Amino acid sequence: MKSIQTDILVIGAGSGGLSVAAGAVQMGARVVLLEGHKMGGDCLNYGCVPSKALIASGKAAYGQAHSAQYGVADAVPDVDYAAAKDHVADVIATIAPVDSVERFEGLGVEVIREYGAFISPTEVQAGDTVITARRIVIATGSSPLVPPISGLDSVPYLTNETLFDLRERPDHLLIVGGGPIGMEMAQAHRRLGSRVTVIEGEKALANDDPETAAIVLDALRGEGVEIEEGAKATEIRGKAGAIEVEAEDGRVFKGTHLLMAVGRKSNVDRLDLGKAGIETTKRGIKVDDRLKTTNSRAYAIGDVAGGLQFTHLANYHAGIIIRSAVLGIPAKAKTSHIPWATYTAPELAQVGLTEAQARDAHGGKLEVVRHEYSHNDRAIAERTTRGLIKVMVVKGRPVGASIAGAHAGELIGLWALALANNMKMSQIAGMVAPYPTIGEVNKRAAGAYFSPRLFDSLWVKRAVRFVQRWLP
């Protein structure tokens, strides 16, 4: 048995773990990184990267079929589904070197390609190696949640971990789950020529603002995606090419392929956390606001920490760990400024409180300002006028923003900045955006907050008349 001593042990080479390892080693810490599966984790291999690549293929096909509005004749796209998957694989391969063993070993990280399990509060065994660490960072991520639905174990099904290996286009894809993964893959496959039915037990895109989510869902339905809400799957039966999903209310949905997209579960089973004195919850590892576990020497970040499950959150968590575990600077994590986006067309994005949440929290102090994409000149020029931005404002400061529309995932960054820095609406209104850009919708939303104060105020009108009389 080989023994290693190190300053920082990182378990898991997904986005968060890699960020911790790279930052810590470049600052002078000794770092060991464990990964028993693929470098880059879920995001690179099964999640963010391949899904956006396939969405790009779908966008290209949709553009060919809907170009007449720009003066270019519509054409029936000749979709090669296998070639689209080749595009996905090429995108992954292009990004992979950044997350590779070779890069991290070049930085000075000792990379061990084994899963790790605790054998004491400060020791982890990986294969034939025992690592003793001053600080341990658990960054093992999450995996697709496969619920115990009757019959599912005898029917072939896909998850995000197997979908991108599929080479033949599904004739009719059934998707159980109407969250971001389900809706993104629904639209991408519909645009690539599949018939698609989404089966959602409650409301599709339920974690987003209902008004902005409705814009996206209406667009998907307009493209032919069948979205069945209030359809809790209770039984699945059939065989490859002929699958049936029966809902609790008796509805039956038939298709050729099945994608399970009902959520994620934290990866904790291999870790033997009990030997380290690390407690878990139903959602993952129990952590405090410093991301420390119940073992004072161990931290958990990203999906496995049981909160929001986003790559950018894992990277944010990594920054907290660098400050606290590497530099010894007290740092706490918060979530109020963490944005998220669903990359459908139109896109859907959120940061902070939704309108309903803000009303519950702030009552009569809340003001909601709105701006429609249909008033944006760039959106008009590009025929992308379906969209809305809503900003929730309390005492002159934004507490949340909801956007549905073109480039919503890009636009939400400004409001994430505002929430992170407790900015005022006046600071957003003071920004000068280049014309014509979709980005102007952010400035216009801020302007909508001040418009009634300036244009509908009797006091302002009287003051202006007074000034005009006395100006030379």
Tokens for 178, please give them.
Answer: 């109407």
Phi/psi of residue 466, each to 5°?
Answer: -65, -45
Task: Please check whether residue 182 is in contact with residue 198, taking contact to mean a CB–CB distance below 8 angstroms.
Answer: yes
Residues 180 and 231 in one domain: yes
Residues 304 and 391 in one domain: no
Does the pLDDT value for residue 461 go beyond 80?
Answer: no
Q: Which of 326, 352, 376 is the last residue of a domain?
A: 326
Q: Report how many domains make up the chain.
A: 3
Q: Find out whether 1 is annotated in a ligand binding site.
A: no
Q: Is residue 463 part of a domain?
A: no
Average pLDDT over residues 185-193: 98
Average pLDDT over residues 277-288: 97
Q: For residue 431, name the pLDDT band (cuts at 50, 70, 90).
A: very high
Q: Find out whether 16 is annotated in a ligand binding site.
A: no
Q: Is residue 223 part of a domain?
A: yes
Does the pLDDT value for residue 157 go beyond 80?
Answer: yes
Give every CB contact of residue 266 below 8 A, 6+ residues apart in sequence: 140, 141, 142, 280, 283, 284, 285, 303, 304, 305, 306
Q: Is residue 244 part of a domain?
A: yes
Residues 167 and 235 in one domain: yes
Average pLDDT over residues 200-212: 97
Residues 32 and 125 in one domain: yes
Residues 9 and 129 in one domain: yes
pLDDT single digits (tens) 318-355: 999 999 999 999 999 999 999 999 999 999 999 999 99
Q: Find out whether 182 is annotated in a ligand binding site.
A: yes
Does the pLDDT value for residue 454 go beyond 80?
Answer: no
User: pLDDT value at position 456?
Assistant: 65
Residues 317 and 190 in one domain: no
Q: Find out whether 183 is annotated in a ligand binding site.
A: yes
User: pLDDT value at position 328?
Assistant: 93
Phi/psi of residue 313, each to 5°?
Answer: -70, -40
Q: How many angstroms separate the CA atoms of 209 and 199, rounded?
A: 20
Q: Is residue 227 part of a domain?
A: yes
Q: Find out whether 179 is annotated in a ligand binding site.
A: yes
pLDDT single digits (tens) 345-390: 999 999 999 999 999 999 999 999 999 999 999 999 999 999 999 9
Give the mean pLDDT of the chain: 96
pTM score, whole prediction: 0.95
The parent domain of residue 181 ranges over: 152-263
In this structure, what DSSP letter does residue 281 have?
A: -
Q: Find out whether 392 is annotated in a ligand binding site.
A: no
User: pLDDT value at position 339?
Assistant: 98
User: pLDDT value at position 123?
Assistant: 98
Q: For residue 470, name the pLDDT band (cuts at 50, 70, 90).
A: confident
Q: Find out whether 405 is annotated in a ligand binding site.
A: no
Nearest Cα residue to 384 out of 375, 394, 397, 395: 375
Does the pLDDT value for residue 272 go beyond 90?
Answer: yes
Residues 178 and 31 in one domain: no
CATH number for position 270: 3.50.50.60
How far lies 70's CA from each of 74, 121, 295, 383, in Å? 10, 64, 60, 9
Average pLDDT over residues 280-301: 97
Q: How many angstroms separate the CA atoms of 363 and 177, rounded?
A: 33
Question: What's the residue count for the chain?
Answer: 472
User: pLDDT value at position 457?
Assistant: 63
Average pLDDT over residues 90-115: 98
Q: Find out whether 181 is annotated in a ligand binding site.
A: yes
Q: Find out whether 277 is annotated in a ligand binding site.
A: no
Q: What's the N-to-C CA distance of the chain in angstroms?
A: 90
pLDDT single digits (tens) 135-150: 999 999 999 999 999 9
Q: Is residue 279 part of a domain?
A: yes
In this structure, what DSSP letter does residue 422 have?
A: T
Average pLDDT over residues 114-135: 98
Residues 247 and 182 in one domain: yes
Q: How many CB atoms lie within 10 A of CB 334?
A: 11
Residues 411 and 421 in one domain: yes
Does the pLDDT value for residue 188 go beyond 80?
Answer: yes
Q: Is residue 271 part of a domain?
A: yes
CATH number for position 422: 3.30.390.30
User: pLDDT value at position 463?
Assistant: 72
User: pLDDT value at position 460?
Assistant: 65
Q: Find out whether 274 is annotated in a ligand binding site.
A: no
What pairs with residue 452 in β-bridges?
Answer: none
Residues 235 and 284 in one domain: no
Residues 309 and 385 in one domain: no
Give every CB contact of residue 237 below 8 A, 6+ residues apart in sequence: 151, 154, 155, 243, 244, 246
Q: For residue 471, name the pLDDT band (cuts at 50, 70, 90).
A: confident
User: pLDDT value at position 1?
Assistant: 84
CA atoms within 13 A on the CB side of 209: 29
Residues 135 and 276 in one domain: yes
Tokens for 411, please give them.
Answer: 């636009």
Give every CB contact of residue 363 below 8 A, 6+ residues apart in sequence: none
Q: Is residue 427 part of a domain?
A: yes
Q: Find out whether 230 is annotated in a ligand binding site.
A: no
Q: Is residue 415 part of a domain?
A: yes
Share of residues in the chain with pLDDT > 70 (%): 98
Q: Find out whether 384 is annotated in a ligand binding site.
A: no
